[in-house]
Amino acid sequence: MPNFRALVLHDDSGRVASAIEDVDDSRLPPGDVTVAVEYSTLNYKDGMILRGLGRLVRTYPHVPGIDFAGTVERSESPDYKPGDKVVLTGWRVGETQWGGFSERARVRADYLVPLPEGLSARQAMAIGTAGFTAMLAVTALENRGLRAGADVLVTGAGGGLGGVAVALMAKLGHKVSASTGRSQLRDYLEGLGAAVVVDRIPADAAVRPLDRETWDGAVDAVGGATLATILSQLKYGASVAACGLAGGSDLTATVIPFLLRGVNLLGIDSVMCPQEPRFEAWRRFARDLPLDKLEAMTDEVPLSRVAELAPRILAGALRGRTVIDVRR
Ligand code: NDP
């Protein structure tokens, strides 16, 4: 097979540096399916990996990219044949093994999901890990009784996970309050379907044990004081799906909302999510996510621009989803 291009990270005495390099197949990890990658995306975790934060990567040289979509080139698995369109998110690909910031990737067949009918590879990556997590969060809230017409809150709404959650929940008939630190995103968030745009909950908010009963459900991408505040504002028996930590990982909540309002804190993990809910989440996108809204929240960049965008996603400065065309 001909060589291919990949964004390779090197650890230079504790400082992580990246370069686009010409790579051959012998450097790919073991796996029964080889994929010609068309698109990947820039996620918050990729930003951390590109900057060498959080000790997520232990072995260098490394190719990041925690998700990708493309076409099967070679397969030793009965489940996939050359020409099949596939999607991958999670399983620590892009962390413990080389990932999607590359024209070619090799993985275990059971890490892959067939590209759902009605979605292109680009649309699947506009969804990507962040959008997939938003779908798991919405499904978890529904499994706890969320019904159409509910008052729901989405935090970090200007980001990727938040944007997909806003569009999805609006389409499902909920009244969505979108929380953002960027007031200039009002029109954008209303365009995605938000009924109301509200300010961010300040990181140093003094959290009251119980506040006014406000939300039937919430998708939280921020964590920290934001998550503690949401817990205090849930209606009786309502749930928050905790997805992220863009605003911090410490949780200083009290047990009072659990004891006096029977609220639920639902942890959402997209990485090791089992196959059946994983397949079902992808099937739901073609049905439940308005694809025009998905397009409106998506920017596309070539692989050559990824490294320069890493600090911006960590600073919460990117809007919506950033798709990477790895062939450019
Ligand atoms: P983005 O960077 O696209 O969005 C995060 C958003 O959070 C920002 O756009 C910003 O929104 C808000 N934000 C950023 N910094 C702060 C801060 N200091 N305080 C409050 N709000 C802040 O990231 P993603 O949407 O891709 O991911 C969101 C979170 O979810 C991350 O922590 C990520 O690691 C996590 N995640 C978890 C997954 C899981 O499996 N559980 C999977 C995927 C992501 P605004 O400006 O609108 O306020």
Residues of the chain short of pLDDT 70, as ranges, are none
The reported pLDDT for the residue numbered 325 is: 97
Query: What per-residue confidence (pLDDT) applies to 235?
Result: 98
Give me ligand 1 centre to Cα 188, in Å. 17
Residue nearest to atom 1 of ligand 1 (CA): 159
- The pocket around ligand 1, CB under 6 angstroms, is made up of 43-45, 129-130, 133, 156-162, 180-182, 200, 203, 221-222, 243-247, 268-271, 313, 316, 318
How crowded is residue 205: how many other Cβ atoms within 10 Å of its Cβ? 14
Per CATH, which fold does 4-115+297-325 belong to?
Answer: Quinone Oxidoreductase; Chain A, domain 1 (3.90.180)
Given CATH 3.40.50.2300, say whether it is the number of domain 129-267: no
Q: Are strands 321-325 and 33-42 parallel, antiparallel or unpaired?
A: antiparallel
Q: What is the pLDDT of residue 162?
A: 98
Helix axes 275-288, 121-143, angle to 10 degrees: 110
**Separation of 220 CA from ligand 1 center, angstroms?**
9
Dump pLDDT digits (tens) for 18-49. Answer: 999 999 999 999 999 999 999 999 999 999 99
How far is 250 from 242, CA to CA, in rounded Å? Answer: 13
Q: According to the model, what pLDDT value does residue 11 have?
A: 93
Rounded Cα distance, 106 and 172, in Å? 36
Q: Which of 37, 102, 168, 131 is nearest to 321 (CA)?
A: 131
Q: What is the pLDDT of residue 328?
A: 87
Q: Which pLDDT does position 249 carry in this prediction? A: 92
Rounded to the nearest whole angstrom, what is the distance from the C-alpha of residue 3 to the centroid of ligand 1?
Answer: 35
What residue spans define the domains of the chain?
4-115+297-325, 129-267
Centre of ligand 1 to C-alpha 276, Å, is: 26
Instruction: Please tell me the predicted confidence (pLDDT) of residue 204.
Output: 86
- Say how far apart CA 101 and CA 20 lie, in whole Å: 9
Question: What is the residue whose two structure tokens read 């569009």?
Answer: 167
Spacing, Cα 17 to ligand 1 middle (Å) = 24
* Tokens describing residue 27: 């450097």
Q: Report yes or no: 183 and 207 within 8 Å, Cβ to Cβ.
A: no
Q: Which helix (H) or strand (E) holds 256?
A: helix 256-261
pLDDT tens digits along 254-307:
999 999 999 999 999 999 999 999 999 999 998 899 999 999 999 999 999 999
Best residue for ligand 1 mutational test, from 42, 93, 161, 230 (most atoms within 8 Å of Cβ) = 161
Kindly report whether the global pTM for this prediction surpasses the value 0.85.
yes
Predicted local distance difference test score (pLDDT) of residue 163? 98
